[in-house]
Structure 1
Amino acid sequence: MLRPIVVGLDGSPESLAAADWAAREAQRRAVPLRLVTAWIWRPVDVPSAQESEAQKRWAQQILDEARENLTARHPELPIQVEQVSDLAPRALLGQAENAEMLVLGSRGHGAIAGFLLGSVGQRVLARAETPVVLVRAIKHGTVEGAQSVDVDQDGGAVVVGIQDRDEPAEALLEFAFATAAARGVTLRAVHAWSRPPVFAYNPGSVPTGDEDTGDEARVEEELLDALTPWRQRYPQVKVVHKIDLASAAEVILQASRDAGLVVVGRRTGRPALGMRIGPVAHGVIHHAVAPVAVVPHA
């Protein structure tokens, strides 16, 4: 059974943009699309029966209108809709368990302001066991919404940030390569490296230009070795790579200026404090212009 791409809808322009992005991605991957609303929004809500019915009708209207609009643009795409009577974070996490990915809308202001996450998005990102993609509604003039999404952006490269070149996360690379293959675009693999800490404390140990070049060549060779099995598994994907002596988030953001999607990892094997998702993912999410996929991995 094919796993669907799930979208959380709340009627906002951001969630409609997310649904539009997800529909295109589902069609490329030949998987169903599922639109989900959760209509109990806050733990303190104790709605009367009349209010509860009004919420249900409102949620159903959002789903029906979104399905109608998406079906008109993607008539062959199977689209499911579902109301979940639960708090939004719990509902979305439950839906994500058996999904190909979960797609959420995120507020963004201006060309470089990146993504602004509400509490729902933060909770879901920190706890989801499946990739979560954040999509902004892009303004054109004074209109913001699903119809304003820049469809041509899908043709940009997929950028993946690889933090551990010795043991790269399989889930991260699988998602990045599969996405690039489905889109028929280049995969841009980037990696930030740094000199051993001893150089910061012992001026006499700072490498010469030749030594520094040798270190960079070794790092590049290790990155290429990490990518080799995935190149073999996805021979149709053109892969370019870049290493840089800078912070990981900075390297990823520099490479993603004209990207169609940015893919970063989030470690699940260590306990998280609150709703933290890691400094690299946090930095990319808050400054990237392109949609961002956060892939959990051990």
Structure 2
Amino acid sequence: MLTPVIAGVDGSAESLAAAEWAAREAERRGCGLRLVHAWERGPRPVRGASAGAVHRHLARRVLRQVEDRVRAVHPGTRLDDEQTEGPAGAVLLHAAEQADLLVLGCRGLSGFTGFLVGSVALDVVARATRPVVLVRAGEEAADEHLPAADGSPSTRTGYRDVVLGVDTADPCDEVIGFAFEEARLRRARLRAVHARQTGAALGRALEETDADALRSLTDVVGTWREKYPDVEVLTTVATGRAQSVLVRAASGASLLVVGHRLTERPVGPLTGPVTHAVVHHVDCPVAVVPHV
């Protein structure tokens, strides 16, 4: 049985957008959707009722609201839910281990929907051993698709590009494979992008030319082209910092895919500068794929 797509929800507009995106992804994958809500006991008991009972009631109400929203727009989605007492970050990380994909909302002001440094969402991205997709508030199904002939939003047109950030000096099969599969599921074009920096920035005596960089990028994705012959691939090399290059490349995309190396840093797991920049500044959903 296929593992479900999991969406973390808290009833906010951000988590509703994430749940709907996750439902569309579940349909693309032919699997179910699980909604996960975490709650923690407050510092004070609730008069006339146990704190646990009150929190469970509130959690059930949140989940019911999200379920009703998802079923209204995706009636065929196989849907279940889970409410768990505990810190949101720990609950979501545990949930991610049970799925191939975890989906979270972003641009919230608190909880796991926030994106300030040190927020639960960034901590989940930094620690998760499964891919995490971050979805903006207001993201709609039509945003994934090309506009209609008259320029209006549509869900009947083809999907916009899936954009993949590639470091040709350290390519990662998990990240590249994820991007190719997402492009296949959408029948979308995959745009593989490499940011070429100057020799001075890299500490190299000889600077890589655009032709060298494009050749390396073509070689990296070449094997995957053979595995996914139906996926159209466009390779692009741009000069500049990877953060800036990917933010520009993701404009108008249906999904941006970047990698995140799982390393323990002196102050604990952190997202790298590229991941940190794109999750703050890219308008489309961002998939962060962990690797070692």
TM-score normalised by structure 2 residue count: 0.86
Cα distance in structure 2, aligned partners of 1:168 and 1:75: 39
1:152 aligns with 2:105: no
Instruction: Flag the structure with more relative contact order, 1 or 2, with Cα contacts below 8 A and sequence separation at least 6.
Output: 1
**1:222/1:70 CA distance change after superposition, 3 Å:** same
Tell me which of 279, 282, 286 is aligned to 1:292. Answer: 286
For the Cα contact (< 8 Å) 1:105–1:135, is it kept in 2? yes
Matches within 5 A, 1:39-54: 39-40=39-40, 45=43, 47=45, 50-54=50-54
Tell me which of 188, 191, 201 is aligned to 2:191. Answer: 188
Deviation string for 1:113-146 (max 9, x for gaps)?
xx951522022111111111111112xxxxxxxx
In the TM superposition, residue 16 of structure 1 has moved relative to its aligned partner by: 0.6
Corresponding residue for residue 146 of structure 1: none
For the Cα contact (< 8 Å) 1:7–1:19, is it kept in 2? yes
Cα distance in structure 1, aligned partners of 2:105 and 2:53: 26
Corresponding residue for residue 129 of structure 1: 129
Matches within 5 A, 1:81-120: 81-107=81-107, 117=115, 119-120=119-120
Aligned length: 271
For the Cα contact (< 8 Å) 1:264–1:292, is it kept in 2? yes
SS at match of 1:16: helix
Cα distance in structure 2, aligned partners of 1:86 and 1:121: 15
Corresponding residue for residue 11 of structure 2: 11
Corresponding residue for residue 170 of structure 1: 173
1:273 aligns with 2:271: no
Percent identity of the aligned residues? Answer: 40
Cα distance in structure 1, aligned partners of 2:221 and 2:186: 19
**1:11/1:222 CA distance change after superposition, 3 Å:** same
**1:116/1:40 CA distance change after superposition, 3 Å:** closer
**1:206/1:23 CA distance change after superposition, 3 Å:** closer
Deviation string for 1:229-257 (max 9, x for gaps)?
11111111111011112111111111111
SS at match of 1:286: helix
**1:58/1:239 CA distance change after superposition, 3 Å:** same
Q: Name the amino acid aligned to 1:219.
A: A
1:222 aligns with 2:216: yes
In the TM superposition, residue 31 of structure 1 has moved relative to its aligned partner by: 1.2
**1:46/1:178 CA distance change after superposition, 3 Å:** farther
> Structure 1 regions of 5+ residues with no counterpart?
110-114, 139-148
TM-score normalised by structure 1 residue count: 0.84
Q: Name the amino acid aligned to 1:160.
A: L
Corresponding residue for residue 74 of structure 2: 74
Cα distance in structure 1, aligned partners of 2:190 and 2:181: 10
> Structure 2 regions of 5+ residues with no counterpart?
145-158
Deviation string for 1:74-97 (max 9, x for gaps)?
222111111111111110000000
Cα distance in structure 2, aligned partners of 1:95 and 1:198: 40
Cα distance in structure 2, aligned partners of 1:45 and 1:133: 32
Cα distance in structure 2, aligned partners of 1:270 and 1:230: 30
Cα distance in structure 1, aligned partners of 2:203 and 2:274: 22
1:35 aligns with 2:35: yes
In the TM superposition, residue 270 of structure 1 has moved relative to its aligned partner by: 4.9
Cα distance in structure 1, aligned partners of 2:202 and 2:258: 29
For the Cα contact (< 8 Å) 1:7–1:22, is it kept in 2? yes
**1:107/1:216 CA distance change after superposition, 3 Å:** same
For the Cα contact (< 8 Å) 1:166–1:226, is it kept in 2? no
Q: Name the amino acid aligned to 1:287.
A: H
In the TM superposition, residue 258 of structure 1 has moved relative to its aligned partner by: 0.4
**1:199/1:183 CA distance change after superposition, 3 Å:** closer
For the Cα contact (< 8 Å) 1:40–1:85, is it kept in 2? yes
